[in-house]
Amino acid sequence: MSVHLRVVRKPRPPDGPAGAQITSPDSPDILRGLHARNPAAERRLLDTYAGLVERMLFRILGDVRSLEDLVQDVFARVFSRIDDVREPEALKPFITSVTVFVAREALRKRRRHRWLAFFASDELPEVAASADPEARQGVRAFYRALETLDADDRLAFTLRIVEGQELTEVAAACKVSLATVKRRIQRAELAFVERCKKDEVLSSWLAEGDRWT
């Protein structure tokens, strides 16, 4: 299946009688439609969750250049494995876990190629894209620090600290135990703080905050 996405999406009306019953992204109707490969159900899922997937990938990777391809990869995998989802309330956690898996693959591929991100102003996460030069410099330094972390530790750290997910949500997304995700976050925090202390920009930012003092 080829999934075509745009960052700006407008809801589209469902097609035909089969789509008329699809009213909520977490209703039994949409899941039945997805299992039946109903185009209206698939569009509804994209309209509802593409923004979430984009944001998660953006915040984990800090890079927009391959974002559209990665989002398409996520939904291609979601649609190919949709029969694994048996309950409507499992849709969002399933999509989140697939997104994390795709992000992990991207991080490992990046590390194999020894890739280090240096971002232009239009490639920064949305929180600083229009901020002053000092803020943009801080975001660049932040993602350079993340590049030094192990891929699994970085995922857990980003989902918890940047995305603000609960520990149980992070564990479910990463498909590991709560104890494992806590260890990963703790390990990532220690490594991240040490990296911050060695960076001129991040060290001052670290001193101004109260989380890692």
pLDDT in tens, 125-157: 444 444 467 667 777 888 888 888 999 999 999
Identify the pLDDT of residue 208.
63
CB 1 within 8 A of CB 80: yes
pLDDT computed for residue 26 by the predictor: 64
Enumerate the H helices of 62-177 as residue ranges.
67-80, 91-112, 133-147, 151-157, 167-174
At residue 30, the pLDDT reads 85
What φ, ψ does residue 13 adopt, rounded to 5°? Answer: -65, 145
pLDDT at 209: 60
Given a cut of 70, the residues of the chain with pLDDT beneath it are 1-26, 64, 110-132, 134-135, 205, 207-213
Name the 3-class secondary structure at 209.
Answer: coil
Predicted local distance difference test score (pLDDT) of residue 59:
87
The token duo for 191 is 């490594």
**pLDDT of the residue at 124:** 43
User: So what's the pLDDT on residue 110?
Assistant: 64
